[in-house]
Structure 1
């Protein structure tokens, strides 16, 4: 009796599983980078680098108190984050939706943020914020599941809702993976604290190095998978 050849469906399932596994490992590493950068930036400058919900609340409080200096600073930070997201999409499109040009540019911005003198702290902050906006365009989804790299409130919300539906007996897939970006960001933030305590804002050079390492690692990701992680 001849052995059965694998069915097209089983081959497709294995392919999707491999693509999803690689994507989640990549998301975890990117989230570590985002957590590191946010913690370093916050400790070094007093402003959030990727947590725009917190910066929005702080902007509203400053407006209510008529604190014009913080208002201008926070408005620039939020604007830089929006600009970074837009630039990320543009660079991804112009590079044929490849990871390495985007991560390379993120690495350059983070290196600049770590090297600028103290007198140019605001410029350093804006460079780091722009980089964190751009990182959101590196991976937008994994096997159809939306992924947020610099904001984990949505991930925790999706995880909680998935847990609730599971407790109700509903079969929903993918909600557990939302803990991946949260865990990565938490671990990265702890590393960022330790680095900032030793190197202060220059610790952003470590973030730049991680970005460059991820750019190099992305060469190992099949081209067709990269297109799936970065949808149009």
Structure 2
């Protein structure tokens, strides 16, 4: 993320807030599972297996598989639409979020895997040479980098601006999560439609950008 341009950094902050919004909605509304935090689902699933709670383990591990599927689909979309890879990935995420919103009306069990796939896809928006340059939902890793950057700044090695960017990403996710929890309480499943609309708006904005890859 060292050479990320300002427009792409702003887009990353918006996507972090969107991911927080969706994650909090899913956690509160759909049974205490995460759709962007796969470390948590892995621990939850493994602990459930150890305790013989097969239903919880099944849900948690299904979410992990849905997330990985979303990452795979994003990589395929980016390659298929090489001229506008970020917009292609955002369009995919928008379709998945829209499908999840529809799923709340027809088939609630499919909602969580669709949301996990959407969050996996969002992580593919900022890539370079097939590698993720800005992890939208990797907040354990982002906090590690924040701590490293702060340590570098304290030792006079620079890194203050980089630390600020990692902090802003974390704060954007926190703000989005607060909004998601509030929206779930106020309007329930309709919150997902707002998430899909926000994702669609980001798709249009990224489609208008000149072909370029976010730099890290």
TM-score by length of 1: 0.83
Unaligned runs of 5+ in 1: 1-15
Partner of 1:161: 148
CA contact (8 A) 1:41 1:201 kept: no
Partner of 1:3: none
Structure 2 counterpart SS, 1:222 = coil
Structure 1 counterpart SS, 2:135 = coil
The more displaced of 210-219 and 90-99 is: 90-99
Q: Take 1:94 and 1:189, find their aligned partners in 2: how far apart are those partners?
A: 32
Structure 2 counterpart SS, 1:147 = coil
Partner of 1:64: 50
Q: Take 2:132 and 2:42, find their aligned partners in 1: how far apart are those partners?
A: 27
Instruction: List aligned pairs for 1:81-230, cutoff 5 A.
Output: 81-96=67-82, 97-117=84-104, 120-140=107-127, 146-172=133-159, 174-223=162-211, 226=212, 228-229=213-214
CA offsets 1:9-41 (integer angstroms, 9 cap, x no match): xxxxxxx98x61111101011111111111111
Residue of structure 1 aligned with 2:61, choices 72, 75, 80: 75
The more displaced of 95-104 and 150-159 is: 95-104
Give me the CA root mean square deviation. Answer: 2.3
Q: Does 1:42 align with 2:57?
A: no
Alpha-carbon distance change, 176 to 230 in structure 1, aligned in 2, over 3 angstroms: closer
Q: Take 1:102 and 1:185, find their aligned partners in 2: how far apart are those partners?
A: 20
Alpha-carbon distance change, 26 to 117 in structure 1, aligned in 2, over 3 angstroms: closer
Alpha-carbon distance change, 92 to 145 in structure 1, aligned in 2, over 3 angstroms: closer
User: CA shift at 1:62, angstroms?
Assistant: 0.2
User: CA shift at 1:122, angstroms?
Assistant: 2.0
User: CA shift at 1:162, angstroms?
Assistant: 1.1
CA offsets 1:138-174 (integer angstroms, 9 cap, x no match): 0137xx9942101211111101111112212223463
Aligned length: 210
Partner of 1:4: none
Q: Does 1:23 align with 2:8?
A: yes
Q: Take 1:57 and 1:138, find their aligned partners in 2: how far apart are those partners?
A: 26
Larger Rg: 1
Q: Take 2:43 and 2:179, find their aligned partners in 1: how far apart are those partners?
A: 26
Unaligned runs of 5+ in 2: none
